[in-house]
Chains A and B, each alone.
Chain A
C-alpha cells in the first residue's frame, strides 16, 4: 500500500515537473507586462487577456521593425505540407521497390540510404547551399521543400521498407498474374494497407520539418523564413523592453501544429511503430 502511494507521489512529481514550463508559458502569455513585473512566475493572471497573442500573431500595426508570426506561419505550412508529402511518397515508393522488386545490389542501395540517417545536418550545409544556389532556389520556400524532402527520404524509406518487408511477396505475385503492373500494385494493393506506417512517417516528418531551425536559418532569411526562424528573430530583436508575454504566446503558436498532429494521429503512431513486430 505504502509502495503504491509512494509510486503515485513520484509520478505526480515528475508530471508536475514536465507540466511546469507549459504552465508558466500559458500563464505568462495571458498576463499584461504590468502583472509580469509585479507578480512572480507562478502568479495566476488577473483575467483572460489575449492581447499578447494578437500581437504575436498579427503585430502592432506599425511599419518597419514590427515582426510577427502570421506570414512565417504560412511559410512553414507551405514548406511542411509539400515536403512531408513528397518525402513520404518517395519513401513509400523506394521501400516498395527495395522489398518487392528486388534487384542486384539493392542491399547496397538501402545501406547507402541508411547512411543518410546518420550524416549530421551540419555536414551538408555548404554543399546544399551551393546546390540551391546553382538551382536558383536559395532563400525560397521551394528550396526548403527540396532540402527537407531529400533529407527525409532516408528515414521514410527505412520506415516503409521495414513495413513492406512483412507484407507477403505472394501478394505481388498474385497481382502480377492478375495483370497489375508496377504502379497498380503499389496504389491498389500496398498503399491501402499502409495507413499505420503512413501515419508514423507523417508525424515523424512533420515534427522534424516544422521544428527545424538549422536549415531554415541557413537557407532562408527575411520574408522566406519559416516560423522557427521568425520566432528566434522576434524574441532576440526586441529593441526596448523584453515582452515576455508576447514571447511566450509566440512560442506556443510555433509549437501548436505538431501538438495537433500528435493528438489527431497519436494512437496510430504507437500502433504503427509496433505493428511490424507483432504481425511478424
Chain B
C-alpha cells in the first residue's frame, strides 16, 4: 500500500498545460521533495494533492483510496504555506484548534492535542498571542503546529522556508528534518532550493515544464542525473557538459571533445545501453568538485587546460578553464594558487562522470 499514489495526472489552465501525465508514488514515512524552477508545476501538483485544485485527467490515491473528488478537509492531509497563512484575527490557540473545531472533535481531545503539540513545538508560551505579535520563526512554528494537531496522514509543505532570512532558514530546515525523524509522517515538500531538497528529502522529484524529470534518492539525483536538465539544475556551480563524440575501437571506448584530438578513455563508465556508441554525439558531464589540481585517485585522468577566470568565495574558489573553446569550471580549496592565462595540470575523476546523448539529452 502506498501512502500517496498519483496516476497519469494532467492539468491545464485554459490552453496552458501545467502538468503532463504525472506518475508518482510515496511509501509510508518518506519525505518527498518536489524540486524545480518556478513555473514548473510543482506548486500546482501540491495543490492538487491537497484538493485545492481540480484535476483534468488522472487520479490521486491516498492509502489506496481514490481522493480525486474528495474535499480537502476529508483527505486526511495538512498543509503549511509559504506565507504561513495564520488567521490574523485569531490568537495562536484559536489558530491551532480551528481545524479540530470544524471537525467537531470533543473539547477534551482538542485541549489534549493542543497541549501536546504546543509543548512539542515550544509555542506553549505564545498561545494567547496574535500572529502579528510573533516573529517569523514563531509564525512558522505555529503554522506547523496547526498542521500537526490534525494528525494527518500526509504533510504538505509549500515552500515553507522561503520567507525567512538565510540564518533562520537553515535553523528551521534542521527543525523540519528533526520533526520528520521523530514523527515519521509522510511528507510532500515543494521548494526551488536544491540545498533544502538535498538535505531534507528521502526522495526528490525534479520537475520541469510539468513533467517529472527524475524521481530518485538525493544520492542518485546528484551522482546519476537522468538527463542534462537534472545534471544542470543540481549542484552549484552546475555540472560541466562538454560537447563531443564517442570513439570506439576493439575494446576501448573514449571521448573526444569537439575541436580536440585528445582522447579521454572511459572504459569504466557504466553504460545503460552499450550498443551504437561509435561516433555518437554526446555531452561529457563532470562536476566542478570532481576536477582536482592534484592526483587523488589512481584512475584520475590528467589533462592540461588554460585557466581563464578565478572567483574567490572564501572557503573555496571557482576556476574557469578553457577546453577547446568550451568552458570548464572547477572547484578548489582557496589555499591553492593557480596562475591565470597559463596551462594548468588538472585531474578528472573518471569514476564520477555522466554521459548524455546530445540529441535526446538523456543519460546513456
Q: Do A and B come from one complex?
A: yes
Q: Which residues of A contact B (CB under 8 A)?
A: 168, 170-171, 173-180, 184, 188-189, 192-193
**CB pair A177 B88 closer than 8 Å:** no
Number of interface residues of B (CB under 8 A): 23
B73 within 8 A of A: yes
Chain B 27-53 interface residues, beta-carbon cutoff 8 Å to A: 47, 50-52
Contacts of B87 in A (CB 8 A): 171, 174-175, 188-189
Q: Provided the pairs A174-B85, A175-B87, A189-B89 are in contact, do residues A184 and B102 lie with their beta carbons within 8 angstroms?
A: yes
Q: Which of B77, B82, B102 contacts A180 (CB 8 A)?
A: B102
**CB pair A193 B52 closer than 8 Å:** no
Instruction: State the Cβ distance, B204 to closest chain A Cβ, in Å.
Output: 24
**CB pair B50 A177 closer than 8 Å:** yes
Instruction: State the Cβ distance, A175 to closest chain B Cβ, in Å.
Output: 7
B353 within 8 A of A: no
**CB pair A180 B85 closer than 8 Å:** no
B78 within 8 A of A: yes
Give the complex CA separation of A179 and B87 in angstroms: 14
Give the complex CA separation of A42 and B184 in angstroms: 85
**CB pair A180 B98 closer than 8 Å:** yes
Contacts of B146 in A (CB 8 A): 174, 178
**CB pair B81 A178 closer than 8 Å:** no
Instruction: State the Cβ distance, B110 to closest chain A Cβ, in Å.
Output: 13
**CB pair B77 A177 closer than 8 Å:** yes
Instruction: State the Cβ distance, A195 to closest chain B Cβ, in Å.
Output: 10
Instruction: State the Cβ distance, A271 to closest chain B Cβ, in Å.
Output: 16
Give the complex CA separation of A170 and B73 in angstroms: 15
Most buried by B among A179, A188, A192, A193: A179
Q: A175-B98, A177-B78, A192-B88 are in contact. List 9 more A-B contacts (CB 8 A).
A: A168-B85, A173-B50, A176-B72, A177-B72, A177-B73, A178-B73, A179-B103, A189-B89, A193-B89
Q: Provided the pairs A178-B73, A178-B99, A178-B102 are in contact, do residues A173 and B88 lie with their beta carbons within 8 angstroms?
A: no
B83 within 8 A of A: yes
Contacts of B47 in A (CB 8 A): 173
**CB pair A170 B89 closer than 8 Å:** no
Give the complex CA separation of A62 and B270 in angstroms: 112
Q: Provided the pairs A176-B72, A177-B72, A179-B73 are in contact, do residues A170 and B81 lie with their beta carbons within 8 angstroms?
A: yes
Give the complex CA separation of A171 and B98 in angstroms: 13
B200 within 8 A of A: no
Contacts of B83 in A (CB 8 A): 168, 170
Contacts of A192 in B (CB 8 A): 88-89
**CB pair A176 B73 closer than 8 Å:** yes
Contacts of A176 in B (CB 8 A): 52, 71-73
Contacts of B89 in A (CB 8 A): 189, 192-193
Instruction: State the Cβ distance, B71 to closest chain A Cβ, in Å.
Output: 8
Give the complex CA separation of A175 and B99 in angstroms: 8
**CB pair A173 B85 closer than 8 Å:** yes
**CB pair A174 B102 closer than 8 Å:** no
Give the complex CA separation of A66 and B155 in angstroms: 75
**CB pair B73 A173 closer than 8 Å:** no
**CB pair B99 A170 closer than 8 Å:** no
